[in-house]
Amino acid sequence: MATIESILHENRVFPPTGEFVRNANLSGMNAYETLRQAAERDYTGFWAKLAKQHLTWHKPFTRVFDDTDPPFYKWFDDGELNISWNCLDRHLTTQADKTAIIFESDEGEVIHCSYRELHSQVCRFANGLKTLGVRQGDRVVIYMPMRIEAVVAMQACARIGAIHSVVFGGFSAKSVHERIIDAGASVVITADEQTRGGKRHSLKATVDEALVMSDTNPVHSVVVLRRTGADIAWQKGQDHWWHDLVSQQSDVCEPAWVNAEHPLFTLYTSGSTGKPKGVQHSSAGYLLGAMTSMQLVFDYHTDDIFWCTADVGWVTGHSYVAYGPLAIGATQVIFEGTPTHPHPGRFWEIIQKHKVTTFYTAPTAIRSLIKLGADLPGQYDLSSLRLLGSVGEPINPEAWMWYYTVVGQSRCPVVDTWWQTETGSHMIAPIPGAVPTKPGSCTLPLPGIDAAVVDETGLPVGQGKGGFLVIKRPFPSMLRTLWNDPDRFRNTYFPADIAGGRYYLAGDSAHRDQDGYFWIMGRIDDVLNVSGHRLGTMEIESALVAHPLVAEAAVVGKPHEIKGEIVVAFVVLRENLPEDQRAVAIAATLREWVSSEIGAIARPEEIRFGENLPKTRSGKIMRRLLRALARGEAITQDISTLENPVILEQLSQTV
């Protein structure tokens, strides 16, 4: 086996193309170049062709692209379609009995759900939502366990043109509350509890708490799936059991034919301020991105068993669980539990049991699985696998190699997919069979995606030089705006100083090597990536300073072997620097506090107390210095402005 060093050193492409090529029409770099050039020659024509090929239109579009009001671009905007119809109904004539979802619960119960059954469930639930008064354009918050019903809820919203906003089940009541208020949601869909890794977590109780956090809230109905049968509080008139809601409903539900630009969903994600952003996606352009990438990047074939391990609470679970696989007519696995429960081989067992061909997960999961048993995959029959995907954070070459050689037995290409909540679907990723891979690089932009690395004015940087990752031309699956906040949308993603506001600014830094391959270096803003989840440092800081004991707080990321990054919080208390025991107690309180304010994923792993924070003369917190302190690195910054250098000593100590 070649070592990582030798591969990186020689900069050999890896693996060689050809051996795994099922992408019959796309073998070799020539195929990639042909597609790329086709998109370059006739950009809108390229996308129009795909939109006709992949989507079924109720009313065909005649206008492909509208850029009269930049950056509020529109695609296919005089066309009409329905996303749920594209994901379900159109398969009924050809493959109604094909399994759409193989569901495996936390406890190991397996349910096969065909396209016909899924369609029927979606129609009944959509009719149920209508009886609650949900209309086209209404907002519905979904706070659900990772079960078939989560997909049913999303598809049912799409069917009637309601705009869903899924909130990850690990978020706190306060986070649920903020999203309900910002979205102006009239209905919440949830479950009594969720079960993950053998542990139960309440969902309905959290929703109840969220709903009383302000005097008024826009929610009139809560739909509750019975998952564990736990005792829950019940508010008559407001709360409805899922099974009661659908029991009398017809399984026919005429879809709402919506405009191509109708918002399919909003999904809140962290940015560089304290307030999460409601990323708003379109219908047609979004689905087109999801389908095109299912075909190109996952090289979809009809007999595939596709498994994306992401929760529907994140964008990956939207594009590659709830929409993409269904739109293309795939069979997919949905798993409710965790990778290591009840044993560390659970993921491999699922691949073996359901004969998964295409496996898509995050580097964090890969790294923790290596740690738990680097040779465990060898104990399972993983011969069904033919393609491996990675998403959410940079994958380090060591993890890539293990994934490729041990999990994929050096047979399966690894597709490292770079994209974001905002881009809706893959942007930079290898097309297996056409684009050779290199461990640690997401390779080349997909055809029709004009990605570049530029300086702070928008000019290209040279080969090997770091810069801002931008996408120079609007593409169909990009976000349309931020919910209720068009100014923030423009300022965040199309800043005027970069190429006059014409480029989409991703918020990542990157460089390109001599082959033009992209290497993602990290975020350029104050966004952390903890276990593949985006967290805003400002959000965590605001949570900390909201605690009565805290006077000031600053949060930075620290590299971590498994999680990629961990949260380190520097805190100034309202009281004097605490003694050891009290410090430990306060740190525990603050961890819990952040958990309850945002969610357990934001909990600071390390807390350090000081009498003050290091600041510049103008009063700005010296974050670079804090980052160095968090990493235990030597201080190279100019600290002459510090009034009291003793605080550096204090802030070096982790409680």
Shortest approach of ligand WTA to residue 414 CB, angstroms?
11
Shortest approach of ligand WTA to residue 626 CB, angstroms?
20
Interface residue with ligand WTA among 121, 280, 331, 420 (CB under 6 A) is 420
Q: Which of residues 109-128 bind ligand WTA (CB under 6 A)?
A: none
Interface residue with ligand WTA among 14, 75, 418, 517 (CB under 6 A) is 418
Shortest approach of ligand WTA to residue 316 CB, angstroms?
5
Interface residue with ligand WTA among 507, 536, 604, 614 (CB under 6 A) is 507
Q: Which of residues 296-355 bind ligand WTA (CB under 6 A)?
A: 314-316
Q: Which residues of 3-25 are buried (b: 16+ CB within 10 A; e: fewer)?
A: ebeebeeeeebbbebeebbebee
Q: Which of residues 454-483 bind ligand WTA (CB under 6 A)?
A: none
**Calpha distance 232→265 (Å, rounded):** 29
Q: Both tokens of residue 369? A: 């699985």
Beta bridge partners of 564: 560
Q: Is 392 a residue that touches ligand WTA (CB under 6 A)? A: yes
Task: Kindly tell me which of 129 and 506 has the beta carbon lying closer to ligand WTA.
Answer: 506
Environment class of 235 (CB within 10 Å of its CB; exposed 0-12, middle 13-18, buried 19+): exposed
Interface residue with ligand WTA among 269, 293, 357, 425 (CB under 6 A) is 269
Scanning 41-49, 396-404, 418-426, 618-626 for contacts with ligand WTA by CB under 6 A, the matching segment is 418-426
Interface residue with ligand WTA among 106, 149, 239, 393 (CB under 6 A) is 393
**Calpha distance 208→239 (Å, rounded):** 10
Shortest approach of ligand WTA to residue 320 CB, angstroms?
9
Interface residue with ligand WTA among 245, 288, 369, 442 (CB under 6 A) is 442
Shortest approach of ligand WTA to residue 538 CB, angstroms?
16
Shortest approach of ligand WTA to residue 173 CB, angstroms?
22
Site mask for ligand WTA (CB under 6 A), range 515-544, x = bound: -----x--x-----x----x----------
Shortest approach of ligand WTA to residue 509 CB, angstroms?
9
Site mask for ligand WTA (CB under 6 A), range 579-618, x = bound: ----------------------------------------
Shortest approach of ligand WTA to residue 397 CB, angstroms?
12
Interface residue with ligand WTA among 419, 475, 489, 517 (CB under 6 A) is 419
Task: Kindly tell me which of 392 and 599 has the beta carbon lying closer to ligand WTA.
Answer: 392
**Calpha distance 193→247 (Å, rounded):** 21
Q: CB under 8 Å to 248, separation ≥6 — which residues? A: none
DSSP letters spanning 49-108: HHHHHH---SB--S--EE-SSTTS-EESTT-EE-HHIIIIIHHHHHHTTSEEEEEE-TT-
**Calpha distance 75→66 (Å, rounded):** 6
Q: Classify 373 in phi/psi space as left (phi over 0), alpha (psi -120 to 50) or beta.
A: left
Count the neighbouring beta carbons within 10 Å of the beta carbon of residue 576. 8
Q: CB under 8 Å to 430, separation ≥6 — which residues? A: 297, 413, 415, 416, 436, 437, 442, 443, 444
Size of the site for ligand WTA (CB under 6 A): 22
**Cβ 603 vs Cβ 567: under 8 Å:** yes
DSSP letters spanning 380-443: S--TT--EEEEESSPPPHHHHHHIIIIISTTTS-EEEEB--TTT-S-SB---TTTS---TT--B
Question: Among 257, 200, 230, which Cα is nearest to 56's?
Answer: 257
Task: Kindly tell me which of 165 and 316 has the beta carbon lying closer to ligand WTA.
Answer: 316
Q: 126: helix, coil or strand?
A: helix
Site mask for ligand WTA (CB under 6 A), range 552-571, x = bound: --------------------
Scanning 9-17, 500-508, 591-599, 619-627 for contacts with ligand WTA by CB under 6 A, the matching segment is 500-508
φ/ψ (deg, to 5) at 343: -145, 160
Residue nearest to ligand WTA (CB): 421
Task: Kindly tell me which of 469 and 587 has the beta carbon lying closer to ligand WTA.
Answer: 469
Task: Kindly tell me which of 260 and 362 has the beta carbon lying closer to ligand WTA.
Answer: 362
Task: Kindly tell me which of 259 and 477 has the beta carbon lying closer to ligand WTA.
Answer: 477
Shortest approach of ligand WTA to residue 535 CB, angstroms?
10
Shortest approach of ligand WTA to residue 602 CB, angstroms?
14
Task: Kindly tell me which of 227 and 438 has the beta carbon lying closer to ligand WTA.
Answer: 438
| AA identity, residue 283 | S
- Measured in whole angstroms, the distance separating CA 552 from the mean position of its chain's CA atoms is 31
**Calpha distance 396→521 (Å, rounded):** 11
Q: 269: helix, coil or strand?
A: strand
Site mask for ligand WTA (CB under 6 A), range 165-204, x = bound: ----------------------------------------
Question: Among 411, 406, 337, 397, which Cα is nearest to 369's?
Answer: 406
Shortest approach of ligand WTA to residue 474 CB, angstroms?
18
Task: Kindly tell me which of 336 and 416 has the beta carbon lying closer to ligand WTA.
Answer: 416
Interface residue with ligand WTA among 391, 412, 414, 554 (CB under 6 A) is 391
Task: Kindly tell me which of 490 and 523 has the beta carbon lying closer to ligand WTA.
Answer: 523
Task: Kindly tell me which of 160 and 442 has the beta carbon lying closer to ligand WTA.
Answer: 442
Count the neighbouring beta carbons within 10 Å of the beta carbon of residue 68. 7
The DSSP element (H or E) to which 572 belongs, if any, is strand 564-573
Q: CB under 8 Å to 232, separation ≥6 — which residues? A: 192, 202, 204, 205, 208, 224
Shortest approach of ligand WTA to residue 502 CB, angstroms?
20
Q: Both tokens of residue 367? A: 């790294």
Binding site for ligand WTA (CB under 6 A): 269, 314-316, 391-394, 416-421, 442, 506-508, 520, 523, 529, 534
